[in-house]
Amino acid sequence: MGIKMAAATVLHDVAAACLRQPLSLPRTTAKEPRLRPGLAFPHLYGNKLPVLGLGYGVGNRSFITCYVDPSTESRVSVLGVSQIKEQCSKWQWKGRYSINYFVSSSSSTNPALLLVHGFGASIPHWRRNIDTLAQDYTVYAIDLLGFGASDKPQGFSYSMEAWAELILDFLNEVVQKPTVLIGNSVGSLACVIAASESSQNLVRGIVLLNCAGGMNNKAIVDDWRIKLLLPLLWLVDFLLKQRRIATAVFERAKQRDNLRNILLSVYGNKESVDDELVEIINGPANDEGALDAFVSIITGPPGPNPVQLMPRINLPVLVLWGDQDPFTPIDGPVGKYFSSLPSKSSNVSLYMLEGVGHCPHDDKPDLVHQKLLPWLAQVTAS
């Protein structure tokens, strides 16, 4: 792949990659880590992994990088997929749709946290975060309609607005207390929409991990790279509305080898791309209704743009952005907008995460926790 497109996560771009393989467009070369002299010495750690550590500032952005002993990775507690599934429950949304959700066992009086996954993912994508967050907070995680173990209703017209409505109804009916929303990719955008529409003080703050610009590629029309691809995207929409073609594309898209290759291209830490992650994406794609959800999301309207919504949000906002994200690059329109926000809005904090891809929470969870936990402590104490 390598084409920097503002897109949702894994399955969407696998399909796009399958369709555009012959196309050659400018590629962006991954940058070498930028290290402040005296803070890190990679040549002294030839066989050690770059993980979290010290930070430094450049302009209005903060960067985090360092080299430490790989044994410190044991500090990240990873929940098994089977353990997560055993702790999940079902909630009936609108009395019609079964929504799968997880809740940690906690007696914390702090505001709750709600984790919202990105395109093609599901609750287990937070396997490296739940246990750490649950030490001080009651953690909820949800499978959006059309994903994971939630319903994938035939004929449903998927939209960003529907997912935002789902989130707000879940807060109102299930969580029933002030909540910090934490989302990745399109999950981030759903959180932004929900926060901008919440009028019941249900949302205490939002955390955006590489926020998407829309439900699909058609959202970012200001990016010259997307403009070049617009005719192809329209063709893809037309082709995917042909059932036979859509089935062939989807079957190819969800093959484990294809998924692994795409995941490797969007993760900075390649060791995080394990068999379990591939299965987290692949498993729900075999459910009845998954193909219809896939087609509806790719060919549907992109939905509201975060650039239009963020000025309406006065809540505390934490933005964490992997600088090696080929889907929502920091030099794309959405990335540039979010990187400029801290200088304009006092409620927004931004940290660039070096060597991190599109899914920071699973890519390098230590790095995310280092910035997320202090921010949560400050927000929930106020």
* Domain ranges across the chain: 77-381
Dist. CA 373–CA 241, nearest whole Å: 44
Percent of the chain past pLDDT 70, that is, above it, reads 74
Does 77-381 carry CATH code 3.40.50.1820?
A: yes
**DSSP codes joined into one string, 152-206:** --TT----HHHHHHHHHHHIIIII-S-EEEEEETHHHHHHHHHHHH--SS-EEEE
For the cut 90, the answer to whether the pLDDT of residue 324 exceeds it is yes
Sequence-distant (≥ 6) Cβ neighbours of residue 333 within 8 angstroms: 6, 213, 220, 222, 223, 307
* Nearest residue to 158 via CA among 290, 308, 340: 290
As a whole number, the mean pLDDT across the chain is 81
Q: Binning pLDDT at 50, 70 and 90, where does residue 231 land?
A: low
* Nearest residue to 113 via CA among 150, 167, 159: 167
Q: 148-203, pLDDT tens digit by residue?
A: 999 999 999 999 999 999 999 999 999 999 999 999 999 999 999 999 999 778 99
For the cut 90, the answer to whether the pLDDT of residue 366 exceeds it is yes
For the cut 80, the answer to whether the pLDDT of residue 2 exceeds it is no
Dist. CA 350–CA 339, nearest whole Å: 7
What is the average pLDDT across 206-234?
A: 72
User: Helix (H, G, I), strand (E, B), or coil: what is residue 134?
Assistant: coil
Q: Measured in whole angstroms, how far is the alpha carbon of residue 124 from the centre of its chain?
A: 13
Q: 100-131, pLDDT tens digit by residue?
A: 999 997 777 899 999 999 999 999 999 999 99
Q: Binning pLDDT at 50, 70 and 90, where does residue 253 land?
A: confident
Higher pLDDT, 242 or 232: 242
- Position 79, amino acid: L
Dist. CA 105–CA 83, nearest whole Å: 13
Q: Binning pLDDT at 50, 70 and 90, where does residue 96 land?
A: very high
